[in-house]
């Protein structure tokens, strides 16, 4: 158990819908990362938050957004869903922001499997 929790574990929805994925980082971790794992693209970085502020953006679609709340949990919102959004969505957390070459181990949550029908 990494200490990172994600809910829900599975989500099945229809095209055009909107869903929210939730992540609670390990106790004491300030940085939260969202990653998408699809069969054709592999694991890709979406977005990072550190202590409530957006830190970095990766290959995140405009239909997707995220935020980190004062209690440090994070939510990833996916809207106008398409079939191609079906994937495993992982949240990871770490202590540091990863700035200036200061990196540390990232602890991954169990993932949310999203199926868009």
- Judged by CB under 8 A, the stretch of 11-19, 20-28, 69-77, 96-104 that binds other proteins is 96-104
* Contacts with 18 (C-beta within 8 Å, 6 or more apart), sequence order: 77, 78, 79, 80, 81
Cβ-based nearer residue to other proteins, 15 or 51: 51
Q: Is the dihedral of CA 12, 63, 5, 107 positive or negative?
A: positive
- Considering the rule CB under 8 A, would residue 6 count as an interface residue with other proteins? no
Burial of 14 per CB tally in 10 Å (0-12, 13-18, 19+): exposed
CA distance 81 to 89: 14
Q: Does 33 bind other proteins (CB under 8 A)?
A: yes
Stretch of 14-22, 62-70, 72-80, 100-108 contacting other proteins, by CB under 8 A: 100-108
**106 binds other proteins per the rule CB under 8 A:** yes
Contact status: 64 vs other proteins (CB under 8 A) = no
Q: Which residues bind other proteins (CB under 8 A)?
A: 2, 31, 33, 35, 42-45, 48, 55-56, 58, 88, 90, 92, 94, 96-108, 110-111, 113
């Amino acid at each position: 158990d990494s200490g990172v929790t994600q809910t829900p574990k599975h989500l099945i929805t229809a095209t055009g819908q909107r869903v929210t994925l939730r992540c609670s980082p390990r106790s004491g971790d300030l940085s939260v990362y969202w990653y998408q794992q699809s069969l054709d693209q592999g694991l890709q970085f979406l977005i990072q938050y550190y202590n409530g502020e957006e830190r970095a953006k990766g290959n995140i679609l405009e239909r997707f957004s995220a935020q980190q709340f004062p209690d440090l949990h994070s939510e990833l919102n996916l809207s106008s869903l398409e079939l191609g959004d079906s994937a495993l969505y992982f949240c990871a957390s770490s202590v540091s922001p990863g700035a200036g070459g200061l990196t540390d181990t990232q602890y991954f949550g169990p993932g949310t499997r999203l199926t868009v029908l």
